[in-house]
Structure 1
């Protein structure tokens, strides 16, 4: 196998011994280095010129990406990009400027320099703040990529209590990271919250709170498209005609101002459902 092909299978960067294990000969590696199609990062590490810098850094640290740093590799929802890389390290080395994970892996690693999906999620559950871990797990769970039972079986003991609490909040009803966050915020303060509710004459709404308050979470680009904007306003009108109330929130409301959003919701809930007057 050509060294270039071997490196592509390994994520674009790898230890020289891994490239050889894929079938690339020492002669072919030297030839590729002379041609510039393969580069030497440091002694024992090779890369393709276009290799992902995050992968290169992980291999240089003799580590694998995990937790929030591996979320994008599996298209997981991510509330905040990590300020420092999260590495799984098993060699006793401690790399400065990273968050080190040392929990034994539950599954073999892929060819690329990151851990398998179940281990990404287990590391997130034991490392990240609860909401950040929740959105990662829920995005995988909704797609059917992971079972909660698998994660629970690997979260035993007192040190995993918070992680098990996070798993108890995982639900299939969310269609986006925002819906997951809002659902947890509402339920954590004791608001009766139904998700993805079908209402005759209106359609499916994101949330129905206490049986009468509809809450919709608007993605700016989609909901400000003229045709969708008109449809949303007609849905709101029909909801009010049926005696319900409607609130709409945006990304910034849910992620950056959750307390203010909850305050608005509480105030509307205190007023009760709309009253319809008939002649």
Structure 2
């Protein structure tokens, strides 16, 4: 992956475990990044501000300041894409991480190939300017290590933990035919059309091309992920979107059975949705904009109460 000046893009690794730092460096270097590794949160914040990385991986449990505080400090001064890595599994921890400024949340133990797929997906969708094309990302077979001797990622790389990884569940088994359908049900009162048009629902307006969201005329400040989730729901109207479906939308992948979505992915979608609803002033119990369809996913509320 090259920077506008022709050299490799930089990624910062903030992780106190040397073995995990080594695995992360291998994955990122195989994706074409030049890596900078540090072992604590304070040094990590300084590294991000110094090297201005395109992407940062951030551990939660570290000496000094933890990953949540580091994410807040980084996000206050940088738009680097943050992937938070942690063994914490509670939904509250996921919400806290995403609320602190992380863009993605990956549970340990993780498969290096899964991290590589998330990195590729993140770069496809997160660094296109408003209305501009996304940055080109090397394919999985492309290897562009920035350090001599760096090895490409293969299926033989170890997982971060010796414990057996949780089996992944095929997306196709989680979604109904209705959710997988490509058609979109039109609903009166909402605008759907070219990228240059506004999507509207109950005073909520979104312009996909310019990446603008307003509510009753006031502009909202959403993260990239929150914007993409809201845009997907506005486009889908009353059609329910499953958490698996929304995960693939955020990855920029097609809805096909060869991609897998785990529990961590679903928790991340739930956490992003919690943050989005908070910014909309919405309530899951009595929603104005976004309904939860229990056991399935999310959809827009009806146009009129």
Using the size of structure 2 for normalisation, the TM-score is 0.23
Structure number with bigger Rg: 1
Larger relative contact order (CA 8 Å, sep ≥ 6): 2
